[in-house]
Structure formats: C-alpha cells, structure tokens
Amino acid sequence: MKIAHVVPALTKGGGEKCAAELANHAARVGHEITVIVGWPVNPILLREKLLPDVRVLYVSKKPRSKLELYINLIIWIWKHRKFLEKKDVVHCHLSYGTIFGFLLKKWRSFKLNRVPVIVQTNHSVGAPVSFLRRRLQSFLAKQCDALALIASDEYWSSFAMKHPKILTKIIFNGISQ
C-alpha cells in the first residue's frame, strides 16, 4: 500500500511519536510510506528516528501565523494533487492533519474520486476539550472515511453510533519506548 501520514512537525509530542511509529512499522512490512510534515524542526527531536525508507515531505517553512499555515496547506495540496491521488491512504494526525484531511476530502469530492481513503486519528479523546473545539473535531471527523480513537469516551462512542458509515475503531494509545 501507499500510505501518507500527516503531522504538523516531527516533535516529541504523543501524536507525532505515534505517527512516526506507525510509519516505521508500515515501512518495515513493505508499504511505501511518506510523512507529510507542516514545517521542519530540529531533526534530532523525531526525524532521525524514522527509517531511511520513510520519505519526508515538508509543506512549508515554519509559518508566521495560523492563516499562513492553512494557506500553505491549500497551496501544497493543489501542487501535489497528482501525488496524493496515487496514495491509497492518507492518515491525518492532530488538528493540522485533520484540516489537511478536510481539504483533501473537498478536493477528492470535486474530482468524484474515492482515493485516497482518509483516516483520522483523534489523539485527544478522553482529554478535557472545550465545547467549541469538540464541535470542530466532530465536524471534521464527519469528513473522513475512517476514524481511530486512542481511548473510549461517551461523546465519541455516541458519535460512532450516529455515523455508522464512518469506520470507527478504538486503538488504545500506546507506543514502544
């Protein structure tokens, strides 16, 4: 399979570490893996832990504002649309990845295409999240094809019941040390 993971930066955060572990695992078993990263940071934080087979692409330099961050995403997706159409799965992590997946889904629906499959991992399930943020996460989750939750909670269990067309699985958080 051709899989792309999307993260904001390759830092020591839990979601980023999880994406790196998934990328390395999939590369070890023979999948073609790309990690799409919002902006570069010190490679010692996590980049150097990716296997040599894992391709890393950067969307832009570190953005100066949130507006620039998301404009860069739109431009990058447009410029790389043919590349993205060749992927089987785009796995979106954290808020940045979720927005990437939303934009990609809009492009995909415009093309009347079902590829790539868009998977979103919600790394904040079970954590205290504001009402507004949860509503945004819920709206964006409705745009993906599959949803991975790192824990079980009442809100997301209810979401899964209300949206049976979105394949939703709980994959308890846990990565190797």
Rounded Cα–Cα distance for residues 104 and 101 (Å): 5
Judge contact between 93 and 19, C-beta under 8 A.
yes
pLDDT tens by residue, 114-147: 789 999 999 989 889 999 999 999 999 999 999 9
Res 105: pLDDT: 93
pTM of the entire structure?
0.92
What is the per-residue pLDDT for 174? Answer: 59
Q: What share of the chain is helix, strand, coil (3-state, %, to 5)?
A: 40, 20, 40
Structure confidence by residue, pLDDT tens digits, 145-160: 999 999 988 999 999 9
Spans in the chain with pLDDT lower than 50: 177
